[in-house]
Amino acid sequence: MNEITKDLLREISEWDGSFKGAYNIRENGQCAGRVSSKNIKIESKKDQPGLEIFIAPGTKDETVSIPACVTQGGVDDLVYNDFFVGENADVTIVAGCGIHTETGEPARHNGIHRFFLGKGSHVKYLEKHVGKGHGTGIRSIDPVTDAELEENAVLEMDTAQIGGVDKTIRTTNAKLGAGAKLYIRERILTEKEQTAQTEFHVEMNGKDSGVDLISRSVARDNSHQSYHSVIVGNAPCTGHSECDAIISENGKVDAAPELHARDNDAALIHEAAIGKIAGEQILKLRTLGMTEEEAETTIIDGFLT
């Protein structure tokens, strides 16, 4: 691994020189290191770039890390990763991505992740995206997440993109069986001329399934964000989505939530709010000795935490 990759790993996956548990490091479209464990097997796909990760039934308290790094312009990295999670497993998956460029050439990573969660399994999925470097080339990260949850499976997704990524399209699709639960926490910050597009589509097909989707975003300078969520209740279920955004300078945010109840016992709720930082919040922090810029930064950091 080169030094840029190591710096990116520290930021996107809390790498401290090594990983605890199974891992695969992807660097500029190639494998830069791989280790499987007794219960988690990582294998290369035979028909396309990417991985197949097999998590044995009953696996508890283990972590698998699959960070991807692009460290130069001119790279357009596409990878397909499939996760097969056995019944009653309880694991953490870390799948961050970092892009660093110092030239005028564009760089892109497109990670397509598919999750197949067996009955009673529980996955905590952590995904952090960052863009670095002084190059003028466009830094793009376009993640796609497809998930199928069997009976009583639980998927917790915590995703963050806090600055540095010029263009992103973030797509999440999920189908939930009986008693399955999906929890999503998304945080996005855009600046300058950056754009971010978020697409969620969740189908609850089993009795007592549920989804809780919370998105927090900040659009600064001349950046533009669009948010589109679709929640479909095909059975007795509960669905909740919440989209809160802060705009400053000339930032723009579009929000288009959709709820579709296809069963009399489908209970679906959406909340949305878009606005600027309240003046009294700025004033209160300025009385504590902060400048206006410091006060705004403090408020935004707290909002995205």
Give the model's pLDDT for residue 296.
83
Q: What is the identity of the amino acid at 104?
A: G
Question: What mean pLDDT do residues 116-143 have?
Answer: 96
Listed in sequence order, the residues at least 6 apart from 293 whose beta carbon sits closer than 8 Å to its beta carbon are: none
| Cβ atoms of residues 229 and 239 within 8 Å | no
| Residue numbers of the domain that contains 86 | 3-304
CB atoms within 10 A of CB 20: 11
Give the model's pLDDT for residue 299.
86
DSSP structure class, residue 282:
H
pTM: 0.94
Question: What mean pLDDT do residues 74-93 have?
Answer: 97
Number of domains forming the structure of the chain: 1
275, two tokens: 């606005």
pLDDT band at 304 (very low <50, low <70, confident <90, very high): confident
Nearest to 204 by CA among 241, 235, 171: 235
Listed in sequence order, the residues at least 6 apart from 238 whose beta carbon sits closer than 8 Å to its beta carbon are: 210, 211, 267, 268
206, two tokens: 């089993």
Phi, psi dihedral angles at 53 (to 5 degrees): -115, 120
- Length, in residues, of the chain: 305
